[in-house]
Amino acid sequence: MTRRVFFLGLIAYGLLTGLFYRIINLIDRVGWTYAAVYVFSISVIVWVAVYIGLELIIEADDDESVGELDEAVGITGLLLCSIPYAPLAWLGLTILTGWLVISTVPQTTLHRGALILLATTFPMLWSRVIFKFLSGPILLVDAWIVAKLLGTSNEGTHIAFVDKSGFLEVFPACSSWANISLVLLTWMVISQYHTSLPPNGPQMGEHERGCRRKKAHPQAGGRVRMGPKWQILLSPTSWGRYRLVALIPS
């Protein structure tokens, strides 16, 4: 069994249990109707990130066999994900995806998929854990930023109205911390979900009519002819990939 298949099964199981326990807990508190209306209190950004992360892992081209450390990490993650408690399932996912991130080659499809799923654990688990222990300082910072933007003052988590007629209090549910975690997840998804060129430049098949690659020194970039009229000028980056510089007539 390859590492891709091994960890794909474990991660899919962890996501299933983590999301399931969270959804069931919400249904017990508010009922099916309200839970469905609020998308089970799980952001659409998280659902999209889960889909894209799994898609990248499924499409990864990895034939490396499972090692002893992989088995140890897999068993640990499986045990945590099997406990009927959502936070422990997300902790197990953190271990599984984190190990994939540090044990795979950067910028590969498998690495990028694991990185997106690792980032998904932040709004689902770690932002809540951090807020639980640091809610006081976080709410103070929120109140201070809002007061500065409005040109008024704050006393702790109370923000004075501009006309000094009263105060507005920042409650935990109003904190920007949850939105920051979703912004970071969105950035991770956008930055990782793209089709990159191979390290040695673009590979053009012979069956692609009208397209041929002009050989060039690796440090000098190169041009790719796109049909009879246009060429793409490529320039190498410092991390071994190529970026598009210009589209020029042939």
pLDDT at position 208 is 37
Structure tokens at 171: 């409650």
Count Cα atoms within 13 angstroms, Cβ side, for 153.
4
Task: Tell me the C-alpha distance between 141 and 81, whole Å.
Answer: 35
Tens-digit pLDDT string for the chain (250 aa) = 899 999 999 999 999 999 999 899 889 888 888 888 888 889 999 999 999 999 999 999 888 999 999 999 999 999 999 999 999 999 999 999 999 999 999 989 999 999 999 999 999 999 989 998 998 999 999 999 989 998 999 988 899 988 888 888 888 877 888 788 999 999 999 999 875 444 444 444 443 334 334 434 444 445 544 444 455 555 555 444 445 445 555 5
Residue ranges per domain, the chain?
Answer: 3-132+175-192, 135-169, 211-249
Q: How many CB atoms lie within 10 A of CB 73?
A: 21
Sequence-separated (6 or more) residues with CB below 8 Å from residue 123: 43, 45, 46, 178, 181, 182, 185
Structure tokens at 245: 């510089």
pLDDT at position 197 is 41
pLDDT at position 1 is 87
